[in-house]
Structure 1
Amino acid sequence: MCGIFGYIANKKLNDEKIIELLSKRGPDNNSIIDISDSKKIKKLFHTRLAIIDLNERANQPYFDKSGRYVITYNGEIYNFKNIKEELINKGYIFSTTSDTEVVLYSFIEWGEKALLKLRGMFSFGIYDKQNDSWFLARDPFGIKPLYYYYDRNSFVFSSLVMPIVYSGIKEKFTINTAAISDYLATGSFIPPDTIFNEINFLKPGHYLLYKNDSIKINKYFSERNNGKLESFNNYNEVLQRVRSVIIDSIDKHFVSDVPVGVLLSSGIDSSLIAGISAILLGKKINTYSIGYYNKKKYRKIDETAIASKTAKYIQSKHENILIDYSEFDNMYDEFLESIDLPSIDGFNTFIISKKIAQRVKVVLSGLGGDEMFAGYSIFKDLYFAHQESKFIDELLMKLPYKIQSILKKDYLKYRGKDINNALIKRRILSVLKNSTRNKLIRMIVETDDVIKLISNYEIRHYMSNTLLRDSDAVSMAQGLEMRVPFVDIKIYDLINNIPAHYKISKKYNKRLLVDAFKDILLEDVYKTQKRGFSLPIPQWARNYLVNNWDIYSLYNKDILHSLGVDVNLFNNEFFNNNKIDYNYYKWLVLLIWLKKHNNYIYFQ
């Protein structure tokens, strides 16, 4: 929806540069509010992508009627009309039809407890003039980003890292070598860490209070305190509940005063969103898919054939966006600017966002379906390994104790190896320290619900740190808001209370989604092997490097040492890597990113 920024400092920052870097996130309006006093310079910034209440009265930063509070807000609250009615009944008077005003008055009325009332995606900062305090918050899943810088004299927050870096708050920033290690292992940064020691990510489901030159961070959301435990009479009741909550979420995600499109792949998640929107909700939608000019060469990853079938079936106005290497080569520099931080993901979302941003301002994506509905192979692998171990445990219990203890010791080794292999396949073990790795394996062995455990792990890690962060950065850089109906608090609460055996089938992935919506899904969609929105990134990236860079200009042994990087490892994965895989690609992104921003980095 928008770009937000705020600061309190002893000096004026580079306001023009801040607005310039934020403006792509909000091309419709930009504003700066100066709330400085005799002690400090204080300012709030906002660049707006107008989605709800297109009138200029809804521009931000936005003051309450008393002038005590001012908010800069990024996001969409899908139940804002319900909350608004509640606030009206308490005597609040509204001047706009936007959700911004609802978020502000919700905070004034309920404080941090308001956060659990909000259904949607959000990050925001509110300044309380009377208490001279700042309140920042981020949605439970981290759909919308929020970064901050803090020292004894200054506090800065932003939707993006680079406006902080280029703001002038500090001449140079130091590299976080531990975070680099995380990036090289996972392809992204793990909150609260970013690539810089001085800049942190506010974690999903957390809020921050800044007052008297100090910060306090609290967690307001966790899987333990959300959702009421429920019992289900039978599988049909489960399917009815799943069907109801998903239809409701998709309907809520159409709240907008501008047209909404749908990104459509050959997979279950996006096909469901498009099908429910068109068939069950009766919406006239535009759908968009990404494919290749050379279909024969990329036939294994081209999704346009099945996507086009779905579009025809639901009667959407469909467009296949076709690309080839030349477009990658032409657009990759712009992509690196839009990604904000190094990442191995995001180009697929970047290119389709760039292509359709002139057609729509809002699109729905199937992101989150795999994490919520057990779509990755690790779910099946661990579930059936778990079922097998339960069966063997029951058999062992019937044997004499001495024999039982001997056999159990051998079986635990086998069982651990089985789990270990599943985690290696998903590339989970490689990113964990030994203590954490052993703890996770022990949790998997001991848990009663391995599907719930892994689902929450995937939601907190890959979905939040890579998929959501990258999708927001690159789509908003094109002035396009990407909404994710499966990443919804109501869906999460329900799924967390459905027993594991209802979620897994040997026949097909995402049993709950398929069985709940077989009436609107084509067989080709759920019987085709999972592909995902993929591009031949590593191969294209190597061509890009050869065509556009002197490869040795990126190589600096001193920098590698300062990053804490093993030079031999680097040589093997970058110079001597003939596989052209993601180990190669992550180095490429990191080194080019460092080269581009070298003037603002201090290498220790």
Structure 2
Amino acid sequence: MCGIVGAIDSNPNGLIEKVTRANNSLSHRGPDGKGIKSFNHEGKSIVFAHSRLSIIDLSDLGYQPMSSEDGRYWITYNGEVYNYKEIRDELIDLGYSFKSDTDTEVLLNSWIEWGSNCLAKLTGMFAFVIYDLDKRRIYCVRDAFGIKPFYYFATQERFYFSSEVPSLFLLIDEKKKLNPASVVNYLLRSSYDVAEYTLTKGINALKPGCFLTINLDNELELKEERWWKPSIEENRNISFNDAVAKLRELFLESVKLHMRSDVPIGAALSGGIDSSAIVCAMRYLEPNIPIHTFSYIASNSSVDEEKWVDIVNNHVGAIPHKIQLSYKDLADEIDDLIIAQGEPFGSTSIYAQYRVFKSAKENGITVILEGQGADEMLAGYFGYPEHASMSYFDKGAFLRLFKFLHSWSKLHNQSSKPIVKYIFSYSISILLKGISKNVKRFSRLISSNHEVEPGKNSLTNGIRGLINKFYKTATPVWLVADADQLMKEANDQINKEDEEIPIKGRRLVYELRRSLVGHHRAGINSLLRHGDRNAMKWSVEGRVPFLTIEMAEFLLSLPEDYLLSKDGLTKNVFRQAMRGIVPDEILDRTDKIGFATPEQEWTSNMNVDEIERVISYVDFLNEIELQNEVKETLNGSRPFSWFAWRVINFSRWLEVNKTHIEPNVR
């Protein structure tokens, strides 16, 4: 786990100094060493830099940027390839030799041997850049799920990249502008880290499961390709018991690989099924090693999970570390947290995770295993019931649908009315679109015989207006400049990847796949960003054993009721796979908390008087309306929502980054 940064620029003046400064800002990601390498290609200056956190092969042989034996290829790489030993053996059989025991050298030689086809072989997390001097190509690659970050800024003359947005700011001379659509989606919907979008214009994230090819012979021509997108075709030939056995095997193998390390390891433990399964699997695989667990405890609150944490710690004989926090702790560290995260985030629970990793650092633990990704792969949270219901609806299994809704509602103590509304809304939208299509055909017939002024077909426009009204999201009063256009851009941003039609009867796994590959407006991208920045702030490597290609492809191929049972039980197949490893008390839980904080109490104590001043220079926001809505939320005049926290967070982020963000005064 490390930090990477680099630049391609037609102007070499001061470039090495800028890259060095940006690399130094990533010292928290890599405190164990710095490296930099520069190249020139037909008037273009190229600089790669690296900040190293030593995890595997702690010797100097692991320093980067690293070159191939013949000097043709160079790599700067952030991440871990857990199955590097197995791939290394395969490469040795093909005639390769190695001078180190690093996964970096294995990764570089894998690319040399197989090109981008090597990526599907890797079990791990990674973001890396490879320069092929002979082909005059640079390749920028991100892992299948986006566990490791990669941001870039590109023009015809320049290409800058980094592991973090604040580091990228140091490479770009001019001030940056806000991306209004991203800001609206964050404030209004808590939707952020979707696909390539950031809150800053011109700064993009490389999408999960994708790679960029940069042709140095042209004006920095960029080509993006997707290297992984799992199938959701159903495997109808596997029984539930066989699926249980296979998942148990895959999960234990993944945890075993994720425990490979030359430094001390531990685990984040919330007391939920996912983190408990990881801790218990560690003990199952290694009966005698010390296991350090780190848990946030929200004492005397409705989100206190200490009871469950204690059950797991006692079961495995762990060395527990419990973190208790107050509003004052958050107030003291909020700016440090915002700087560490790089961009705003959705709730104060991110601070609990931040302090968990801080505790790991203080106790000498460099690697932490955590449970991110399980909900998105196993139909967790509340089980994505709307999408599961639509699958029953597609199949015409209306009696099953009725029984599912009744059981799900009873099990989770939730009303099924929103699910019924979702099904009804979807059905009406399909009906309206069908009518619209037929009206267009009818209109074309009329137009062939009669002159109809463009845009004046009242029947077509009426249907279109009805569809728009049906879908319309209310425009908030705090949008002041081109509000309707901004709402359209915000909607287009989160719906950009929705063009593919879901497979009927497979709508649940379709939704899970969207969450996993970074297309979902509430997908896993933001959770992985939180975890990466919180861990790296303290020079700790966070690992996520649930997120492997093999496990994802297996789970997405299963019948949907193996994931979300016909009775509404989430993580159905995984609960059974963990019997005998995880205590039944944990596996029988049906609630979902995680590192949740007493959100309302903490937010209500925050100072909101600065919101109006800080946001006043954002030309598309009404700072007075925003501040009033926050105050009314916190004083109880409005129902509590996380919107208040998002506005506070956004205003603090603007203040922290005021030297980099260009003001747009009305």
The alignment covers a number of residue pairs equal to 568
> Does 2:519 match 1:519?
no
- Structure 2 vs 1, CA of residues 81 and 230 (structure 1 numbering), >3 Å: closer, same or farther? farther
Partner in structure 2 of residue 471 of structure 1: 531
Deviations 1:204-262 (A, max 9, x none): 011101123221111111123xx997444522111111111111111111111111111
- Structure 2 vs 1, CA of residues 93 and 435 (structure 1 numbering), >3 Å: closer, same or farther? closer
Indicate conservation of the 8 Å contact 1:277/1:285, yes or no: no
Structure 1 residue 72 displacement after superposition = 0.4
Indicate conservation of the 8 Å contact 1:287/1:311, yes or no: no
Q: Partner amino acid for 2:424?
A: G
Partner in structure 1 of residue 29 of structure 2: 25
Which of 34, 51, 56 aligns to 2:55? It is 51
User: 2: distance between equivalents of 1:443 and 1:61?
Assistant: 43
Taking the TM superposition and a 5 Å limit, the aligned residue runs for 1:106-505 are: 106-167=110-171, 169-184=172-187, 185-211=189-215, 212=218, 213-224=220-231, 230-282=235-287, 284-292=289-297, 295-296=299-300, 298=301, 300-345=302-347, 346-358=350-362, 359-384=364-389, 386-387=391-392, 390-391=395-396, 415-417=423-425, 433=491, 447-459=504-516, 460=518, 461=520, 462-505=522-565
Partner in structure 2 of residue 5 of structure 1: 5
Indicate conservation of the 8 Å contact 1:360/1:480, yes or no: yes
Partner in structure 2 of residue 61 of structure 1: 65
User: 2: distance between equivalents of 1:112 and 1:520?
Assistant: 38
- Structure 2 vs 1, CA of residues 135 and 384 (structure 1 numbering), >3 Å: closer, same or farther? closer
> Does 2:605 match 1:543?
yes
- Structure 2 vs 1, CA of residues 157 and 491 (structure 1 numbering), >3 Å: closer, same or farther? same
User: 2: distance between equivalents of 1:352 and 1:28?
Assistant: 22
Structure 1 residue 577 displacement after superposition = 2.2
Partner in structure 2 of residue 78 of structure 1: 82
1:262 match: secondary structure: strand
> Does 2:648 match 1:588?
yes
Range with bigger deviation, 497-506 or 574-583: 574-583
Partner in structure 2 of residue 565 of structure 1: 621
- Structure 2 vs 1, CA of residues 122 and 228 (structure 1 numbering), >3 Å: closer, same or farther? farther
Partner in structure 2 of residue 509 of structure 1: 570
User: 2: distance between equivalents of 1:254 and 1:552?
Assistant: 45
User: 2: distance between equivalents of 1:482 and 1:320?
Assistant: 18
User: 2: distance between equivalents of 1:303 and 1:510?
Assistant: 20
Structure 1 residue 286 displacement after superposition = 2.4
2:384 match: secondary structure: helix
Structure 1 residue 82 displacement after superposition = 1.5
Structure 1 residue 116 displacement after superposition = 1.6
1:377 match: secondary structure: coil
Structure 1 residue 580 displacement after superposition = 4.8
2:25 match: secondary structure: helix
Unaligned runs of 5+ residues in structure 2 are: 401-419, 429-472, 475-486
Indicate conservation of the 8 Å contact 2:126/2:147, yes or no: yes
User: 2: distance between equivalents of 1:479 and 1:202?
Assistant: 23
- Structure 2 vs 1, CA of residues 343 and 267 (structure 1 numbering), >3 Å: closer, same or farther? same
User: 1: distance between equivalents of 2:320 and 2:386?
Assistant: 36
> Does 2:594 match 1:532?
yes
Q: Over aligned residue pairs, what C-alpha RMSD do you find?
A: 2.9
Range with bigger deviation, 350-359 or 71-80: 350-359
Structure 1 residue 193 displacement after superposition = 1.4
User: 2: distance between equivalents of 1:279 and 1:333?
Assistant: 40
Indicate conservation of the 8 Å contact 1:416/1:441, yes or no: no
Range with bigger deviation, 91-100 or 431-440: 431-440
User: 2: distance between equivalents of 1:192 and 1:435?
Assistant: 10
Percent of aligned pairs sharing the same letter: 29
Indicate conservation of the 8 Å contact 1:289/1:307, yes or no: no
1:357 match: secondary structure: helix
Indicate conservation of the 8 Å contact 2:392/2:398, yes or no: no
User: 2: distance between equivalents of 1:32 and 1:90?
Assistant: 31
Range with bigger deviation, 38-47 or 114-123: 38-47
- Structure 2 vs 1, CA of residues 568 and 597 (structure 1 numbering), >3 Å: closer, same or farther? closer
Range with bigger deviation, 39-48 or 366-375: 39-48
2:112 match: secondary structure: helix
Q: TM-score of the superposition, structure 1-length normalised? A: 0.87
